[in-house]
Structure 1
Amino acid sequence: MTKTVVILGGAYGGLHVAHALLKRANKDLKVILVSKSTHFYWNLASVRAIIPGQIKDEAIFKPLNGALSRYPAESWELIIGTATAADFEGKTVEVTLADKTTRTLSYDQLVLATGARSAADNTPWKGLDSYDETVKSLHETAARVKDAQHIVVAGAGSTGVEVAGELGYEYGKTKKIILLCSGEKILGGDSVAAAATSELKKLNVVIKYGARVAEAKTTPEGKTNVVLADGEAITTDLYLPTMGLVPNTEYIPDRHLSANPNYRTVNVDEYLRVRDAPGVWACGDVVSRPRAGFMITQKQAASVAKNVEAALAGREPLVARGLPVDIYACSVGRDRGAGRMNSIKLPSIMIWLAKGRNLGVPRAQGYVDGSVA
C-alpha cells in the first residue's frame, strides 16, 4: 500500500527532506511537496543581490519542478500553495492554492518546514508569497540602492551587518551608510562583534548604538523619516529594515506551539518529532533550536528524513544530531568577515573563504541535483 509523506515548505529544510526520501524511495512511497513559491530561493545571498549587477536571478532562484523531475513522476507531486490549517489527529492539512481555492491533503507522515518570514514587509531577505514577488522586491531594492546617496540599515544582527557590509564595500566612499544597532554591541553582543565592528569601520559604515527604531514613514519627497525611540529623527533616501523573524506557524494548532507570543515556534522532542502529534516532524526556522540558521537546518533536515524513513518502516526514531561545534560566520563585504568556532576566533580570510567569497551560491545547485541529501 502506498504511503504518503507531505512536506510543507520548499526551502532549505523541506527540499532537503524531499530529496533524501525520493533518492531512497521505493514504488510504495509518494512525496508531496507544498511550496508557496515555484522556485527554491538561495536567500543567503540576498544581502549581495541588492547590489546592482552582482548576482543574477538564475543563480539564486532554482525551479522546484526541475529539482524533482529527476525522480519517477508517480513518486512525487509539487503543489504551489500555503498551508492554512492542520489536523494532526485526523492526519490532514489544508492548503490554499494560488487561485484561492483550497485542497485537503491526507498523509501518513508530515514534515513541517515552512520556515520564517521577515518581520518587515516586502523585504527580500526571506522569500515572499511568490517567486514573482520575491524577484520584484530584489529588483526594486537594487534600483533604490543604486539611486540612493544616504542609506539607513536598521537592525544589527547577522542580516543587518551583512547588508551594511555589502553596501559599504560597494559604496562606502561615495554614499552615506548608517547601521542602527538597538544595543551597545552589534550581533547581539556575540564574541565576534568587535571583529565585525572593525571590518565595518574599514568600509566606512557608521554604526549608531542605542538606536531602536520607533517609526519609519515615507515623506512626500519619497524619502523615509526614521524616528528612534529617543525621539531623534533621521531622514534617508533608503531605509532597509532587517530586524526580526516571524515563524510561519499560524496554521499549526496552538497547543503545539511555544508559549512565547512574539516568536511562536513548534514544540519538538529530541527526535524533532512534534510533541503530542504522532507522525509529525519539524525542522528549520519553525523550530529555531538552538537558533535559526542554515547549517542547523541542514542537520535537522537530515535527521528528520532518517526518522521519517524509520517511521514508515515501523522502526524507532534516532535522536537528532546537531552540529559538532558551534560555528558563527558573518560576511562583511566581499573580502572580509568575522566568525568563530565555539569560543575560538577565526581569521577574516577563513570567513571569506567559507562564506563571504560567494555567499554559498554554488551550493544552490545541490538543491537542484539532490546532492544536498
Structure 2
Amino acid sequence: MARITASGSSLPHVVIIGGGFAGISAARALRTAPVRVTLVDRRVYNTFQPLLYQVATGGLNPGDVTHFLRSLRVRQPNLDIVHEHLMEIDTAARTVRLLDDSTITYDHLVLANGVTTSYHGTPGAKEHSFAVYSRSQALAIRDTLFTRLERATQQGDRRKGLNVVVIGGGPTGVEMAGALAELRDQGLEPAYPELEGDAFRITLVQRGTELLKPFLPKLRRYAAAQLRRRDVELRLGTGVEEVRDDSVVLADGTVIPSDLTVWATGVAPHEEVRDWNLPLDAHDRIRVEEDLQVVDLPGVWAAGDVAVAPQDLPQLAQPAIQGGAHIARQIRRLLAGEGTERFEYYDKGQLAIIGRRAAVGEVPGIANLPVLHRIGILQRVPLLRATIALTGVVGWFTWLFVHITSLLGPRNKLVVMVGLLARYGVRLHRTPVPIVGDVPAIRPSRAQRRAKPAPDA
C-alpha cells in the first residue's frame, strides 16, 4: 500500500473527511494555523444542499449550487485536496485507509462526511421514490419530471395530467412542494394548453399534524395556508405505508396516484460508519464530547450531521458550520499547549421559502446576539429576548440574503441571486421558462428507419 504523509513533516497534519459545511468550515478556519491540512472527499465539488430542490424543479443549474473544492487552495496554501473515499480508520496508528488502498497519517482527524437519505424501512420507498440529498438526485428528479410531463400531454385522456407526491413536511418538503407549485403556475400552465383542468397536481404527505415542526406555531399555520393557496393538497396526520411505482399508500389505507414521488424526510449516517470502530449511538451517529472530540479518542473529532453531541444539536447547516470552526479553534489551542473548550452553539434561527413573496423565518431577539448576550440589562427585557417571526416579503428577502451569502464563490452568489430573483422576485417575462435537462430525444428505432412507406393504394 502507498503511504501518504503530509508534505512538510515538521508541521502537524490535520486530515478532514468530507467537503460539506463542517469540513470546509474547519479547513478554512485553519488557513493561518501552523498545520498541514488534507481534505478528503469522494466528490470534487461541494454541494449547497439547501438549494438542491431549486435544481430539481428547474429553477437553477447544478453548477450554480456546487463549488470546485480545489478552488479553496487559491487562498489557502496549507490545504491539499484528495479525491477519494474513506474505508478504514486506525486510531492506534493514527492512519486512515482510502478506497485506492493508500493510507494517510494524521495528528488530528476531523470526521465531517455528513449523512444520507433514510427511508425508515418503508416498503418501496428506495425503489420508487426520488430523494433530494445530492446533485445527482436533484437532476434525476428534474429530468424525470419533465419526461413524464411530456408523456402526460400525449396520453389519450389529457385530463389525467401529472400527479406529484412529496413525502415529508419539514423545510425540504415544504420548499419542494412550493417550488413545484411555482413551476406549475408560472411556467408550465401556459406552456401545456393540451392538459385540461388539474393538469399538475401536487400532494404533500406529513406524518405529523403540522408542517415545519421546529418553527413557531403561527409560522406553521402560515406555511400550510400558503401551500393550500397554491393548490397544494396537504395530507397531514398520516404516515406512508408503502411507495409503489404509480402510487403512494398511506397508513389509513388511502391510495394516492403518483407519477413522481419525492422522498424528503429523514437522514441517517452512511453504512460504512459502522466499520470505523468508533463509539456510536443507537442511530449510528458518532458520539462526541462537549468539545466535539470523539469519546475516548483524543485527536479524533466529529462535526455536522454525522456526530451527536451531549448538547443534542439539530441536524442543520449552522451547527455543522459552527462545529467545524470550533474544532479548528480547539486544534489551535492544543497546539499552543492550552486545553479545549466546550462547544457553544449559537442559534441564528431558521428559514423556509414557500413561493413568490412568501417565506417563514425565525431569528433570535437582539439581546441574544453573541456580542450582546452577556449584557445583563438587555436580558431583563423580555421583548428584546423574544424570537422574531418573519413572514411574507420580509421573510422572503431574509431567506434570499442568508442563502446568497452562505454560498461559496462570487460567481455562484451572483448567478443564484439572479436566478432566484427571476423566479420569485420580479417578472422578467410573462412566463418564466424552467431549466430543462435530459428529456430523452424521440428517435425512430432501427426497424422503423429501415421500413419503407407503403405504396399508395
TM-score, L = length of structure 1:
0.84
1:319: how far off?
1.9
Segments of structure 1 that go 5 or more residues without pairing to the other structure are: 128-133, 219-223
Q: 1:367 to 1:302 in 2, by over 3 A?
A: farther
Task: State the match for 1:68 in structure 2.
Answer: 73
**Structure 1 residue 287: deviation in Å?**
2.1
Report the counterpart of residue 32 of structure 1 in structure 2: 38
CA shift, 1:25, in A, is 3.1
**In the TM superposition, what is the alpha-carbon distance from 1:138 to its structure 2 partner?**
2.6
Alignment match, 2:202: 177
Structure 2 SS opposite 1:310:
helix
1:187 aligns with 2:224: no
Q: Which residue is 1:81 aligned to?
A: 84
Residues 158-198 of structure 1 deviation map (CA, whole Å, 9 limit, x = unaligned): 11111111112222575211000112112237423212111
SS at match of 1:256: coil
The answer (yes or no) to whether the contact 1:8–1:14 under 8 Å persists in 2 is: yes
Q: CA deviation at 1:316?
A: 1.1
8 Å contact kept, 2:202–2:232: yes
Separation in 1, partners of 2:228, 2:21: 33
142-151 or 203-212: bigger deviation: 142-151
Shift of 1:77: 2.2
For 2:298 and 2:236, the matched residues in 1 are separated by: 47
Change (3 A) 1:226 1:347: closer
Q: Which has the larger radius of gyration?
A: 2
Cα distance in structure 1, aligned partners of 2:169 and 2:256: 17
> Quick one: distance in 2 between partners of 1:5 and 1:123?
36
**Separation (CA, whole Å) in 2 of partners of 1:338 and 1:300:** 25
Q: Measure the CA separation in 2 of the matches of 1:182 and 1:175.
A: 23
Contact 1:45–1:359 (CA<8 Å) still a contact in 2? Answer: no
Runs of 4+ in structure 1 displaced over 4 angstroms? 120-124, 252-255, 366-369
Structure 2 residue 265 is matched with structure 1 residue 238: no
Assess, with a 3 A threshold, how the Cα gap between structure 1 residues 33 and 42 changes in structure 2: closer, same or farther: same
**Structure 2 contact 132–262 (Cα < 8 Å) conserved:** no
Are residue 270 (structure 1) and residue 290 (structure 2) matched? yes
Give the % identical residues: 25
Paired amino acid for 2:88: A
Q: Tell me which of 284, 292, 297 is aligned to 2:320.
A: 297
2:223 pairs, out of 173, 185, 196, with 196
Partner of 1:130: none
The structural deviation recorded for 1:40 is: 0.7
The correspondence of residues 307-318 of structure 1 with structure 2, limited to 5 A, is 307-318=330-341
Residue in 2 that maps onto 1:104: 103
Q: CA deviation at 1:41?
A: 0.6
Per the alignment, residue 20 of structure 1 pairs with 29
Distance 1:249 1:317 in 2: 30
1:363 is displaced (CA, Å) by 3.0
Partner residue of 1:11? 20
Shift of 1:368: 9.7
CA distance in 1, matches of 2:267, 2:12: 34
Question: When the two structures are aligned, how many residues end up with a matched partner?
Answer: 342
247 and 106 in structure 1: CA distance in 2 versus 1, 3 angstrom threshold: same
TM-aligned CA deviation for residue 340 of structure 1: 2.3
Is 1:56 the equivalent of 2:61? yes
Aligned counterpart, 1:131 = none
CA distance in 1, matches of 2:103, 2:177: 43
SS in 2 for 1:251: helix
Q: CA separation of 1:306/1:249 partners in 2, compared to 1, >3 Å: closer, same or farther?
A: farther
Contact 2:326/2:343, CA 8 A, preserved across alignment: yes
Give the equivalent residue in structure 1 for 2:396: 352
In the TM superposition, residue 273 of structure 1 has moved relative to its aligned partner by: 1.1
Deviations 1:121-162 (A, max 9, x none): 5846323xxxxxx34x33331123334421100111111111
Distance of 1:181 and 1:90 partners within structure 2: 47
Correspondence for 1:328? 350
Cα 1:42–1:125 change in 2 (3 A) is same
* Higher share of residues assigned strand: 1
Confirm whether residue 283 of structure 1 aligns to residue 303 of structure 2: yes
1:364 maps to 407
1-structure distance, mates of 2:410, 2:102? 27
Q: Secondary structure at the match of 2:352?
A: strand
Letter in 1 for 2:300: V
Q: 1:349 Cα deviation (Å)?
A: 2.6
Deviations 1:288-346 (A, max 9, x none): 541111122121121111011222333211222211x4613221124211122365422
**Separation in 2, partners of 1:318, 1:70:** 28
**Code of the aligned partner of 2:408:** Q
Give the 3 Å change call, closer, same or farther, for CA 294–255 of structure 1 in structure 2. Answer: closer
Residues 362 and 389, structure 2, Cα contact 8 Å, conserved in 1:
yes
Deviations 1:240-291 (A, max 9, x none): 1111101237336455111x2xx22221122111111100111111125411
Query: Higher relative contact order by CA 8 Å / sep ≥ 6: 1 or 2?
Result: 1
Conservation of the 8 A alpha-carbon contact between 1:257 and 1:265:
yes
Distance 2:402 2:242 in 1: 32
- What secondary structure does 1:17 align onto? helix
Say which of 125, 128, 150 aligns to 2:132: 125
Which residue is 1:226 aligned to? 248
Contact 1:42 1:361 in 2 (8 A): no
User: Among residues 150, 162, 167, which one is paired with 1:154 in the alignment?
Assistant: 167
Cα separation, 1, equivalents of 2:313 and 2:361: 18
